Amino acid sequence: MSATRWGYAASDRCVEVGFVQVEQGASGMKIRLIAIWDQWRNGFWFVPTLCCLVAVALGIVLPSLDAELKVQDIDGLKWLETTAASARTVLSTLAGVLVTVGGVVMSSTMVTLSLTTSQYGPRLLRNFIQNNITQLTIGIFLGVSLYCMLVLRAVEEPNGTVFVPHLSVATAVAGAGVAVAFLVYFIHYVVSAIQTQNVIWSVADELSDAIEALYPQSSSAEGVAKREPDRDPASEPVRRAVGDLRSRVEGYLQAVDLEGLLEAARERDVCFRLTTQPGRFVIRATAICVLERYTEDGNCPDEMRAELEAQLNRHLIVGRYRTPRQDIKCAILELVEVAVRALSPGINDPRTAIECVDQLGAAMNHLISRDSQPAEIRDRQGVVRIVRVPLHVDEVLDTAFQQIRQYGASSVSVTIRLVETLQSIAPEAVRSGHVQAIRRQAEMLTRSAERNLAEENDLADVRVRLMNLQRILNEHESAAKAAHEG
């Protein structure tokens, strides 16, 4: 793929509060290194390659150490002593067997990936590939086999004198034992990993981690007021749009390095108004940001604009697929995909869909109990430097429940569980926007049930739960209104 199409940048640390004091931004080199590390970790070759390199190093160093130590002359290590014939037999046997078993491990991995793709969807492959157990097991088998072949060459030196690397042979046997232990654990992992419950929990844990990282802890009104002091709009410095900044790469926006972008904006006294957000597809040469300056004339030299456009692109991660780094909808859609596949006519497994709804409900409960992401990000002096597109709760709820509601419209159990899930998260909806978002979901469920459920008793069960949900929402609105008037 052309380097002009795909570009990568990354940063692990992000500014996630409205009024912040930040450290120095990450350098472009650090961004590229983190991006490269992410790509290597997501590949299937990196860990096995490291294991093989370590094995080569040990296969060269340990025989030399054997020659220096002379294990047969050390009383405490004489139990390691062996003969040249035994050493050759052990090493050659281990080298052949471990390569064979390593091939079996690879075949088992391919079967697991094939089952995952057909049953849960290709987008969940990332969760399996990133797991270090599979890569480490393959790496250990290949590495120990390679080590045995290297040590086997050292058993007899070119001048014909017999040299037995006792310590190296013992290390090979120990490595084989470790490989067997990893094989047993690998089998256990494969058996567990393909179970539906574990797949759902794995994605749900990833979603929970993303919410924890991206959304600040909920705080009281007093704490928010202290952290984000009241600002008079009239006293805010005036910003004027001076042009668009365009993407120089193409793909899914995986994350934005807010620290680095904030530092770049502070140095040039500008504000970046982002028009896209992580998870969206950006097209090369299209506008992704509006550049704003704190100047009276609102002019911006072309050279300065080009430089800021280059800096903006350096602080973006753009890749071929979505990741939950700063995109919680990515993990949500993975759970939704499992649920939708379970509801397909060929599978017809509402229980799996219900388990996905349960996990989505837990995540939504976790999300609405936290503070929302602020749109404006300020520097130490309180000057707005970045304005981003916030992710609203109604948009997240649509992502979580809309497709499941549509594909499960004729399933009574799925419809009831969707209503019960909204009931469970409604008590946490302390903001009017959250209440309205949940009410909107309830209204869509009501219309869907009335249209698709033919059995009157089933419809009555759904209506009872919807009435309870509406009562909870009405109580919240009344309490919020009374508190506001008081």
The whole-angstrom separation of Cα 247 and Cα 249 is: 5
pLDDT at residue 210, as a whole number: 87
Q: Which of 86-95, 174-183, 208-217, 258-267 has the lowest mean pLDDT?
A: 208-217
Question: Rounded mean pLDDT of 190-217?
Answer: 87
The whole-angstrom separation of Cα 337 and Cα 207 is: 14
Handedness of CA 227, 230, 233, 236 (dihedral sign): negative
pLDDT at residue 457, as a whole number: 94
SS3 240: strand
Starting from the edge strand earliest in sequence, which strands make up the sheet with 376-378, in order?
240-246, 287-293, 270-274, 384-387, 376-378
Q: Which of 27-36, 408-417, 476-485 has the lowest mean pLDDT?
A: 27-36
pLDDT band at 86 (very low <50, low <70, confident <90, very high): confident
Q: How far is CA 9 from CA 29, 253, 279, 313, 397, in A?
A: 9, 10, 15, 8, 30
pLDDT at residue 339, as a whole number: 95
DSSP letters spanning 172-231:
HHHHHHHHHHHHHHHHHHHHHHTSHHHHHHHHHHHHHHHHHHHSPPP--HHHHHHHS---
Q: How far is CA 434 from CA 148, 179, 222, 313, in A?
A: 62, 52, 20, 34
pLDDT band at 160 (very low <50, low <70, confident <90, very high): low
The whole-angstrom separation of Cα 195 and Cα 152 is: 42
**Cβ density class 413-424: b for 16+ within 10 Å, e for less:** ebbbbbbbbbbb
pLDDT at residue 34, as a whole number: 58
Question: Rounded mean pLDDT of 303-326?
Answer: 89
pLDDT at residue 482, as a whole number: 66
Q: What percent of the chain has pLDDT over 70?
A: 83
Q: How far is CA 467 from CA 220, 246, 360, 422, 473, in A?
A: 31, 49, 22, 12, 10
pLDDT at residue 101, as a whole number: 92
Handedness of CA 350, 355, 356, 360 (dihedral sign): positive
Nearest to 199 by CA among 128, 302, 294: 128
Q: Which of 29-38, 128-137, 174-183 has the lowest mean pLDDT?
A: 29-38
Q: Which of 129-133, 147-151, 311-315 has the lowest mean pLDDT?
A: 129-133
The whole-angstrom separation of Cα 23 and Cα 31 is: 15
The whole-angstrom separation of Cα 408 and Cα 349 is: 11
DSSP letters spanning 55-75:
HHHHHHHHHHHHHHH-GGG-G
pLDDT at residue 230, as a whole number: 53
Tokens matching residue 377: 């990000």
CA angle centred on 392, ends 288 and 274, rounded to 5°: 15
Question: Rounded mean pLDDT of 46-50?
Answer: 89
The whole-angstrom separation of Cα 25 and Cα 27 is: 6
Q: What percent of the chain has pLDDT over 90?
A: 45
pTM across the whole model: 0.80
Q: Please determine, for residue 387, whether its predicted confidence score (pLDDT) is greater than 70.
A: yes
For helices 350-368 and 393-407, give the axis angle rounded to 10 degrees.
170
Residue that wins the pLDDT comparison between 401 and 69? 401
Strands 270-274 and 384-387: parallel
Q: Which helix (H) or strand (E) holds 279?
A: none
Question: Rounded mean pLDDT of 321-336?
Answer: 90
Handedness of CA 51, 11, 15, 371 (dihedral sign): negative
The mean of the pLDDT values for the chain is 83
Q: Please determine, for residue 226, whether its predicted confidence score (pLDDT) is greater than 50.
A: no
Question: Rounded mean pLDDT of 274-303?
Answer: 89
Q: Please determine, for residue 39, whether its predicted confidence score (pLDDT) is greater than 90.
A: no
Tokens 């990133």, located at residue = 130
The whole-angstrom separation of Cα 28 and Cα 300 is: 24
Q: Which of 94-98, 117-121, 315-319, 353-357 has the lowest mean pLDDT?
A: 117-121
Nearest to 316 by CA among 286, 285, 268, 276: 276
Question: Rounded mean pLDDT of 46-54?
Answer: 92
Contacts of 459 (CB under 8 A, 6+ apart): 449, 450, 453
